Amino acid sequence: MSAHPPVLTWQHRDDDLVLLVNNTSTVVPAEIAEQLTATHPDWMRDPARDLLITEDLLGREAGQARQKAVQLAEEIATEAIRVTELANEVKRRRWRSRRQLEQQRRQASAALRELTGEHTRVSEHLHRLQHLIVALRGFVLDLDFTDGLLGEASRGWRRLSLRPAYIETYRGEDDFLLADIRGPARATRTAWGAVALDAEDVTHGWRRDEDEPNLDTEPGDLIGPWELGYLPRTGEVYAVRRATYLDDELWLMGEGFRDRDATRAMLNELHRHKREPNSLLLAAETIHAAQLRHVRPPRTEPAPRLPGTQQPNLDGSVGGDTA
């Protein structure tokens, strides 16, 4: 990496929007320039942030369009069944009693055509938004930056965002604790008496394309919904997704990390990349590679559980009556 990120400025030339990079000019494609000026009509001052905020806003709009398309598809299926049922009922009735049903069938058919037309319009809009996102990312990638916000974005967008096959998944923190065959080593008792992960070096804001845009943040905040933590007593590194708009999910990223200092050094180095897109996947790859250099720790027998529950017995005492 260079010592300083490139100096970026906007310039308008005739009908073109031009990006100046250290005095080298690049014409912005018309469809991206149109979106940029629509998103920032009065304050296009910082090209890197302008581009990233625009990409974020396009993603949010695409997410809304995707949800609307799913909703309309469900309504279309329901209305289509109603049209079919009414048509069948009309056939079964004598001609004198068909009139009212036939009118209902025509109204239902009209509603079905309207829903289908709206679904087509929403789907075309979604396709357009997805095209703009790909085009904007492609423009940034073609600039080939290695530093600054756009360099971080380029590195992240080049990563795969799908969950690696070697990751163990759980339905959140509670599910992870209930599956603990190491006994109560993963857990601690909070000040208010609840059971929680006994984690250290917890960091927040890790990112993955599948879970973004992050609707719990402002556009351009570069903050993801994932938390990364280290369980020194078990030598495990985990990531947990916490978002108001998504279900909780926990990934067991790696095991066998008994050397606390080395593990913390690895996590600190990863932290520098946290705001990059798909930083969670970079963490997963790095942690998995480090795990392969260690011997997998032996599993232990399941710990005692509290009587009548699946909660770990943190006190270590055996439940039941004593003679």
Asked, for residue 116, whether it belongs to a domain, the answer is yes
Same domain, 180 and 137: no
Q: Is 320 part of a structural domain of the chain?
A: no
Backbone torsions φ then ψ of 201, nearest 5 degrees: 50, 45
H or E element that contains 51: helix 47-92
Per-residue model confidence as pLDDT tens digits over 145-185 = 999 999 999 999 999 999 999 999 999 998 998 887 766 67
Strand order in the sheet with 249-254: 168-170, 249-254, 236-241, 226-231, 200-206
Both 249 and 137 in a single domain?
A: no
3-state class (DSSP) for residue 200? strand
Mean pLDDT of the chain: 88
Q: Given a cut of 70, is residue 2 above it in pLDDT? A: no
pLDDT digits over 262-317, tens only? 999 999 999 999 999 999 999 999 999 999 987 454 444 454 555 555 555 555 55
pLDDT of residue 121: 98
**Who wins on pLDDT, 44 or 95?**
44
pLDDT value for 108: 95
pLDDT digits (tens, 9 = 90+) for 90-132: 888 776 678 888 889 999 999 999 999 999 999 999 999 999 9
Q: Comparing C-alpha atoms, which of 57, 68, 155, 147 is closest to residue 115? A: 68
DSSP-derived 3-state class of residue 251:
strand
- Residue 226 pLDDT more than 90? yes
Quote the radius of gyration of the chain (alpha carbons, Å): 27
Count of structural domains within the chain: 2
Same domain, 42 and 147: yes
Tell me if 187 sits within 8 A of 314, measured CB to CB: yes
Edge-to-edge, what's the strand order for the sheet holding 24-27?
Answer: 8-13, 16-21, 24-27
The pLDDT score that the predictor gives to residue 73 is 98
Q: What's this model's pTM, rounded to 2 decimal places?
A: 0.83
129, 157, 185 — which closes off a domain? 157
User: Domain limits at 134?
Assistant: 8-157
Same domain, 130 and 183: no
194 and 148, same structural domain?
no
Residues 188 and 149 reside in one and the same domain: no
Alpha-carbon span 288 to 168, nearest angstrom: 12
Q: Do 49 and 91 belong to one domain?
A: yes
